[in-house]
Amino acid sequence: MAETRPLVPVVTIDGPSGSGKGTISRRVADQLGWHLLDSGALYRLVALAGLDRGLDPESVAAHAALAETMRVSFGADAAGAERVNLEGQDVTARIRLEEVGQGASRVAAWPPVRAALLERQRRFAEPPGLVADGRDMGTVVFPGAVLKIFLTASAEERAARRHKQLKDKGSAVSLAALSREIAERDLRDSTRAVAPLRPAEDALIIDSTGLSVAAVVERVLELGRQRSLWS
């Protein structure tokens, strides 16, 4: 269903895996004091819920039903770190597992799953504003967004960033294996029939290769200032 212009301002930040969307979106949301939608986490939650319930990994209908009914909540712990709950269980660490990411990419290619998550995602648009991070935030979920960013980085840099993130968490995954997985996932996300990964026509493209997080955040904030979205 087409979305009318959202009543609250929405900034969309789309891009491929490892482009730094998650970190940038969180920092921009913090700076503005706006809400954050990590839409990838919702796809990860569908995949994880399916695994936990022992669903047939090929059953589209069963995953779409889960996408509709699963009970999820996003919050922060006392130190301000993100906490994600699924059916009352803290799954913050589990949704980030590589196998869950792969599962998310598979279920995300199924139109009924995407349709089931559409309204759920739009409900995150609450005052004073929302920063929405994903693949189709600017093209499908929030086409009326006031600012649309498409964040990219070279495939090598994205694999290296992911490698460092996983290493910091104690996972020993080879850089070569990660590069392969990122390439596979990029291909699947950008060639799927429904909501493929591509910039919205009115998106502004930022290539973060070689840029610091702070520099990218500043660029996004500056783009908003230029458009008088904030001061």
Chain positions contacting ligand DC, by CB under 6 A: 17, 39-40, 43-44, 101, 104-105, 108, 134-136, 185, 189
Give min distance, CB of 231 to ligand DC, in A: 29
Between residues 17 and 208, which has the closer beta carbon with respect to ligand DC? 17
Q: Check residue 109 and give left, alpha or beta (phi > 0: left; psi -120 to 50: alpha).
A: alpha
Give min distance, CB of 114 to ligand DC, in A: 7
Between residues 156 and 222, which has the closer beta carbon with respect to ligand DC? 156
Closest residue by beta carbon to ligand DC:
40
Between residues 102 and 154, which has the closer beta carbon with respect to ligand DC? 102
Residue keyed to tokens 């969180």: 26
Give min distance, CB of 17 to ligand DC, in A: 5
Between residues 167 and 227, which has the closer beta carbon with respect to ligand DC? 167
- Give the HSE-up count for residue 81: Cα atoms under 13 Å, Cβ half-sphere: 4
Between residues 198 and 230, which has the closer beta carbon with respect to ligand DC? 198
Give min distance, CB of 78 to ligand DC, in A: 25
Give min distance, CB of 105 to ligand DC, in A: 3
Give min distance, CB of 10 to ligand DC, in A: 13
Between residues 46 and 230, which has the closer beta carbon with respect to ligand DC? 46
Give the per-residue SS3 of the chain: CCCCCCCCCEEEEECCCCCCHHHHHHHHHHHHCCEEEEHHHHHHHHHHHHHHCCCCCCCHHHHHHHHHHCCEEEEECCCCCEEEEECCEECCCHHHCHHHHHHHHHHCCCHHHHHHHHHHHHCCCCCCCEEEEECCHHHHHCCCCCEEEEEECCHHHHHHHHHHHHHHCCCCCCHHHHHHHHHHHHHHHHHCCCCCCCCCCCCEEEECCCCCHHHHHHHHHHHHHHCCCCC
